[in-house]
Amino acid sequence: MKEKRVQMKGCFKKNLLIVMGLLMFYCSAGVVQAGNTRFQEVEGSNGSIVRDNNTRLEWQRCPHGQSWTGSGCSGTAWEGPWDYAMRITASAGFRVPTIDELKTLAPYDQNIFPGVYGFWSSSPYAYDSDYAWYLSFSYRHVYGNYKSYAYRVRLVRGGQ
């Protein structure tokens, strides 16, 4: 029985070229990690800002007060009560996210958003004015808590 190696090699070469072309496209487009097409680094941000291709929101990778090093966050993250968090403004249109925006990060990847902390949202708790919503990245769940508690802030732009 004669093998058809020549045809298979041709098919393999063609498929290999297609796969390599796709890989080169993803690498040049700034995809944060192999296989991840949801988050893309924003051009000119040195990786400190990522765009969520599902929601079109742009997120700072590090909590407010920290800086992106290229592989993680450094410095001291701001942590404080909700009233102070609502006063945080950043350049380039960043703001504290709503709870619905923050929830989209619940199935987060620690390579993209380092650290597992609680993060304030800008959404007050409707049933008690002393409470506001926050997201626990440790438990990947949303909770309401006293506004006097101290949590971190991850800033976003776009949406609303």
Phi, psi (degrees; rounded to nearest 5) at 92: 65, 30
For residue 6, what is the enclosing H or E element?
Answer: helix 5-28
Task: Inform me whether the pLDDT recorded for 81 exceeds 70.
Answer: yes
DSSP bridge partners of 143: 134
Q: Which pLDDT does position 36 carry in this prediction?
A: 67
Instruction: Give, in order, the Cα–Cα distances in Å from 75 to each of 9, 56, 68, 96.
Output: 53, 28, 9, 20
Q: What is the mean pLDDT of residues 137-153?
A: 93
Q: What is the mean pLDDT of residues 120-144?
A: 94
Count of CB atoms situated within 10 Å of the CB of 102: 24
The pTM is what?
0.75
Task: Inform me whether the pLDDT recorded for 14 exceeds 60.
Answer: no
Which amino acid belongs to residue 103?
K
